[in-house]
Structures are given as C-alpha cells and as structure tokens.
Amino acid sequence: MVDPPREGGSVSPEDSTGHGSSRLEAASAEAFGAGEARPQLERRFERALSLSRLVVVVPVIVLLLAAISSFAYGTDVFVRSVTRVVEDPNLTSHNLAFLLLLTDLFLVGATLMIAAFGFYDLFVTGVDASSGLRLPGWLRMRDLNDLKARVISMIILVAAVSFADAAVESADGLNTLYLGAAVALVIAALTAFLRFGR
C-alpha cells in the first residue's frame, strides 16, 4: 500500500515553475537596469562634451577686445596726428605713412573681428538673421576652411599695406627690396595655401 505524500514533503510543478520564472524576471530586470545605466552615462558624457564648445567663448571675447583695442588705437593716432596733416596737406611721405598706418591698424582690427565671428559661428551657434545677429553672407562660416580663407586673405592685405608703409618711410633701397621679396614670398605661400590647401 502506497503511503500518501506528506504535507510539505514535495514541491508541485506549479511552485517550481513559479520560482524559476521569478528568478528569470529578476535577472532580466538587472540586465535591463545595467543596459539603461550605460546609455544614460553616455548621454551625460556627450552632453558635457557638447557643452565644452562654450569654452570657445573665451577666445571670442579676447579677439573682440583686441579688435576694439586696435580700432581705439587707430582712432587715437588719428586724433593726435590729424592737426599736423591739416597744417601740411601736401602728399608727403610722412602724411602717406600716417594714412597707411591707420589703414593697417583698422585692417588688423577687422581681421580680429572676422576671427571672433568665425569662432562663434562654428563652435557656439549658427550666426544668421534668424538668431538676431545680421551678418553679410561673406562673414558666414560653414567650416574651418572658410575661417582660414577669410583670415588669411586679411593677413595678405595687412602684409601688403605694412610693406607699403615701410617702403614709404625707408631710406635704404636695398633693405626695402629685401623686405619686399620676403613679403612677396609670404604672400605667395599663403595664396598657394588658399588655392591648394583645401
């Protein structure tokens, strides 16, 4: 005669299935939590990396201040020297050098401003009419090549004006020739870079 099963002496199939499914659910929940934590960490890192672009605001401010300083210095030179130009209005070498110096200072300031706009446009946010800051089309930068092209073009112009200023004031023709050759070499190298460096 078979003894009846004792109470608590065996586990029904329903109980064993229930314990197995609960363990599987717990394991899958842990895996799901770990999988969620990794993308969340990646998103936070990507957000911090994206916000690091705002560090470019520092050189933008410095470039703008340098541009303002160049404009202010040029204005100061003009105010202090304009009386002498008015007293002697003839196109002498001194007056011509004075005008070239003013042009040089303002061109340097414009170059610094172009660099500031370029950094801001490329790294911080798109600068266009919809953002409230209206700029001409030639000042809008699509990539670093655009920024380099504009800055190098201004550097070429500044170099040419600086050479003209030095040539007007120089009394040594041989040194002026050497300086002109050096400036021409630099301008040729920068032009070649603009043409073939993209």
> pLDDT tens digit string along 27-82?
555 545 555 566 888 888 777 777 777 788 899 999 999 999 999 999 998 988 88
CA 153/CA 150 separation, integer angstroms: 5
Among 160, 163, 73, 166, smallest CA distance to 112 is for 73
pTM of the entire predicted model: 0.66
140 DSSP assignment: -
Contact predicate 139/117, CB 8 Å: yes
